[in-house]
Structure 1
Amino acid sequence: MSKPLHKTICDKKRFSLLYEKYAQELGNFLYYKYGSTLNPADRVQDAFIKLWENCAKILPEKAKSFLFTVANNLMLNAVKHQKVVFKYQEVKPKDYTNESPEFVLRKKEFLKRYEKALSNLKEEERVAFMLNKIDGKTHKEIAEIVGVTKKVAEHRIYSAFKKLKNQLEEFK
């Protein structure tokens, strides 16, 4: 077996040559094995960062093996993390409540009446009201979005609120 020419890869030029030689191949390997959803290019970069951090410990002839092992382990960690994320996304909210059945029924009835009252508003009033109360937009922002003055936006919001109060006793 021949002796290696260089003992470390800590030289920027040697490291750059390693990057040019293996980065594409490593990226393709990860892409083919795991697909694109887990960002194989990021894992390639992370593997090269780890190689640079450990450049004094790794012999040049072992660099390729190190890169592929580290990159593969990083992808496996990403897969594990993705599984945990999916598991917690599957957790459903509780289907029970401490509220009385009467309260739940009243809440559903109020929601129906509220939606009907909203649909009875003029479109410009409903839009201004929803932008303010649901999206939390200021009067000035609403005026810019809708293309009217701030006073007109305020008037539409207050007009919608007044109509809703007249139609829904719980709104008072």
Structure 2
Amino acid sequence: MPKSLNDNICNEVMFSKLFKKHYQNLYSYLYYKFGDYLNPEDKAQEAFTKLWQNCGKVTPEKAKSYVFTVGNNMMLNEVKHHKVVLQHQQTKPRSHTNENPEFLMQEQEYLQKLQRAIGNLTESERTAFLMNRVEGKKHKEIAALLDISAKAVEKRIYRALSKLRVEIEEL
């Protein structure tokens, strides 16, 4: 027994008839159930788009059920998404730390001592030290930039570290 043309909604004429017949009902259903906030018109159109994409799998008798189910599921997914967004909006970022005020004060004092100690280094020691420890450059790179030997860079960094240890007394 051959299949009739009505068994296939991939036919543009058949699809167009289904769209004209069920679109307004689907839109109204989604609008009444979920309101205008979640844009039921877009979801109704997307449901028919999915029907077109799966036209070979859906028979004309089941097309109405298919688009209503797809539209309803899209709206439910949108509701879930909005709930997640609301939860994240209500979550306040932490404005405090678990560190006590004494620790924070000691940390500030330490940074001030460190900055003062770095300021007391000679220019050559300070340059080599900061290029190595702050910028993360290797001894060979610093030597090339300063036009000195790698051994000279090592010596400058070593002297800078020794002076910093003595001056800060906490390293």
Which range, TM-score by smaller chain? 0.5 to 0.7
Q: Is the 8 A contact 2:6 2:14 kept in 1?
A: no
| CA displacement 1:54-95 (0-9 Å, x = unmatched) | 101111011000010010011111011111000100011213
| Cα distance in structure 1, aligned partners of 2:4 and 2:86 | 47
Cross-structure match for 2:63: 63
| CA displacement 1:108-136 (0-9 Å, x = unmatched) | xxxxxxxxxxxxxxxxxxxxxxxxxxxxx
| Cα distance in structure 2, aligned partners of 1:99 and 1:43 | 52
| Cα distance in structure 2, aligned partners of 1:54 and 1:25 | 21
Q: Which deviates more from structure 2 when the two are superposed, residues 88-97 or residues 27-36? A: 88-97
Q: Please tell me the residue identity of whatever aligns with 1:29.
A: Y
Q: How many percent of aligned residue pairs carry the same amino acid?
A: 51
| Cα distance in structure 2, aligned partners of 1:42 and 1:73 | 13
Cross-structure match for 1:81: 81
Which residues of structure 2 form unaligned runs of 5+? 106-171
Which residues of structure 1 form unaligned runs of 5+? 104-172
How many residue pairs are counted as aligned between the two chains?
101
Determine helix, strand or coil for the equivalent of 1:31: helix
Pairwise CA distance, 1:96: 1.2
Cross-structure match for 1:117: none
| Cα distance in structure 2, aligned partners of 1:32 and 1:68 | 13
TM-score with structure 1 setting the length: 0.54
Determine helix, strand or coil for the equivalent of 1:85: helix
Q: CA RMSD in A?
A: 2.3
Higher Rg of the two aligned structures = 2
| Cα distance in structure 1, aligned partners of 2:64 and 2:86 | 33
Find out whether 1:95 has 2:95 as its counterpart: yes
